[in-house]
Amino acid sequence: ARAATTAVRGELIYFRDDPFLVGPEAAFVHEPDGLLICSDGLIHAVGPYSETRDRLPDGVEPAHYPGCLISAGFIDTHVHYVQTEIIGAFGEQLIDWLNEFTFVAEQRFDDPEYCGKVAEVFCDALLRNGTTSALTFCATYPLSVDCLFAETERRGMRMIAGKVLMDRNAPEDLLDTPQRAYERSKGLIEKWHGRGRAMYAITPRFAPTSTPEQLAAAGTLWKEHPGTYVHSHVSENTDEIAWVKELFPERKGYLDVYDHHGLLGPRAMYAHGVHLTEDEFARCHETGTALSHCPTSNLFLGSGLFSLSSAKDPGRPVYVGLGTDIGAGTSFSMLVTMNEAYKVAALGGYPVPALRAFYLATLGGARALGLDDRIGTLAPGREADFVVLDPRATPLMEFRTQRAESIEETMFVLSIMGDDRAVRATYVAGRLAHERQRGR
Ligand code: GUN
Ligand code: ZN
């Protein structure tokens, strides 16, 4: 056990509670010279260096990152690993983008070699950006799930993923029947859910590509496997919403399609929610359903502006995490995602302070996924996933941050100017998993 002990020293930043709902003092902890001791993949001790150094086992020398901020690892609450190769596909909004680029790309995932290659590139990109956990779509093929989990298991990453369910309105090769979708998902749940750090998400793509029968099968499967997730999309684009109305005229609205089939509740994560109504936000609150805010994607596809202020209304707050939504999203970086989230909210006259943005990317994401007892903050007993951020990563960032007068200002500038260059190191389960080389 001793051999598995690692320690890092630096400026610790982490959350105990939600800064959208409580004051910064209650929500946020800043330890200017902190020490984090990890053993066997978990955080063993955290505190001021002066008080915590006594707890270092003999012979363990902490890796020292002077001037760097150490945060819980970022959590990407919505991403498509199978779309890594189509980032930056030109010219279309959602439905045409799906047909022209996405469905074409996803048909390649019946090839184990290609799946393995993309899984590797995907995990490298996450870690390079300080993202230690993600909730990701795979393709329809069970193989695409096997290859991803094999890769995340090799790296010790906590990962939630699932095969896509579609039985209409997509190319034949990507379609299941309700029965086959049920059986194949069930097989994958039995194989992967709870194995090491892997968890399974039942993944109906979105209402237009599933019949009511397939959505019902997904609801049944979820009920039969408590602890698994539901992962889908909702109210991203106005043409999409009109299409859902045509396909499900008997339902009150888009969210109600999922509600009707038993697909709302804790551990259900819906991406986008750009055009949700007040009633729909209230229903998310009531059921514990979470939303993933994907600003780079919503801007890239011209989908619209997510209302973070409505979602996080303290009167009926909804769980919200941040998502990159690669490949409609344009960056794996959660810092870049915070930057775009700030701008989207600014257009609504709702400036998002750095503490709130970092919360969404860490503990907020963990809470949205019901994983805050394991990840999302720095506390004894939590899994030792964290990121070392360098506010002086570039000459311009160094010039700018030297005049920052508070930790909040440093964090804000980091979120506005930062990207993968600002990620000095990423640790997964207490082990160094990425380290930025000078000048790269
Ligand atoms: N809605 C249904 N499928 C998708 C997808 O792959 N990406 C995005 N952004 N929206 C979707
Ligand atoms: Zn998506």
**If you measure from the C-alpha of residue 185 to the centroid of ligand 2, how many angstroms do you get, rounded to a whole number?**
19
**How buried is residue 19: exposed, middle or buried, by Cβ count under 10 Å (0-12/13-18/19+)?**
buried
The stretches of 301-385 forming alpha helices (DSSP H) are: 308-311, 334-347, 354-361, 363-368
Residue nearest to atom 3 of ligand 1 (CA): 205
Q: SS3 for 24?
A: helix
Q: For residue 324, which ligand has an atom nearest its CA?
A: 2
**If you measure from the C-alpha of residue 159 to the centroid of ligand 1, how many angstroms do you get, rounded to a whole number?**
20
Predicted confidence (pLDDT) at residue 336 exceeds the cutoff of 90? yes
Label residue 1 by pLDDT band (50, 70, 90). very low
Query: Is 78's C-beta closer than 6 angstroms to any atom of ligand 1?
Result: no
Global pTM reads 0.98
In tens, the pLDDT along 181-240 reads 999 999 999 999 999 999 999 999 999 999 999 999 999 999 999 999 999 999 999 999
Ligand 1 nearest atom to the CA of residue 301, by list position: 9
Candidates 84, 85, 94, 238: which one to mutate for ligand 1, based on the most atoms within 8 Å of Cβ? 94
Query: Is 80's C-beta closer than 6 angstroms to any atom of ligand 1?
Result: yes
The chain-wide mean pLDDT, for the chain, equals 97
CA dihedral 385, 77, 185, 262 (to 10 degrees): 130
3-state DSSP percent of the chain in helix, strand and coil, to 5: 45, 25, 35
Q: For residue 102, which ligand has an atom nearest its CA?
A: 1
pLDDT, average across residues 12-41: 98
Predicted confidence (pLDDT) at residue 2 exceeds the cutoff of 50? no
**If you measure from the C-alpha of residue 291 to the centroid of ligand 2, how many angstroms do you get, rounded to a whole number?**
12
Candidates 206, 241, 299: which one to mutate for ligand 1, based on the most atoms within 8 Å of Cβ? 206
**If you measure from the C-alpha of residue 332 to the centroid of ligand 2, how many angstroms do you get, rounded to a whole number?**
13
CA distance 278 to 63: 48
Q: SS3 for 203?
A: strand
Candidates 102, 209, 293: which one to mutate for ligand 1, based on the most atoms within 8 Å of Cβ? 102
Q: Cα 410 to chain center, whole Å?
A: 23
Residue nearest to atom 7 of ligand 1 (CA): 328
- For each of the domains in the chain, give its residue range(s) and CATH number, in order of start: 2-73+377-435 (2.30.40.10), 74-332 (3.20.20.140)
**If you measure from the C-alpha of residue 325 to the centroid of ligand 2, how many angstroms do you get, rounded to a whole number?**
5
Sign of the Cα torsion 209, 211, 214, 220 reads positive
Q: For residue 234, which ligand has an atom nearest its CA?
A: 1
Ligand 1 nearest atom to the CA of residue 297, by list position: 9
Q: For residue 236, which ligand has an atom nearest its CA?
A: 1
pLDDT at residue 265, rounded to an integer = 98
Ligand 1 nearest atom to the CA of residue 233, by list position: 1
pLDDT at residue 437, rounded to an integer = 86
Q: For residue 106, which ligand has an atom nearest its CA?
A: 1
**How buried is residue 425: exposed, middle or buried, by Cβ count under 10 Å (0-12/13-18/19+)?**
buried
Tokens of 139: 């393709």
Ligand 1 nearest atom to the CA of residue 206, by list position: 2
In tens, the pLDDT along 148-192 reads 999 999 999 999 999 999 999 999 999 999 999 999 999 999 999
Residue nearest to atom 9 of ligand 1 (CA): 328
**If you measure from the C-alpha of residue 137 to the centroid of ligand 2, how many angstroms do you get, rounded to a whole number?**
8
pLDDT at residue 439, rounded to an integer = 63
pLDDT at residue 440, rounded to an integer = 59
For residues 216 and 178, the answer to whether their CB atoms sit within 8 Å is yes
Label residue 438 by pLDDT band (50, 70, 90). confident
Candidates 83, 236, 298, 300: which one to mutate for ligand 1, based on the most atoms within 8 Å of Cβ? 236
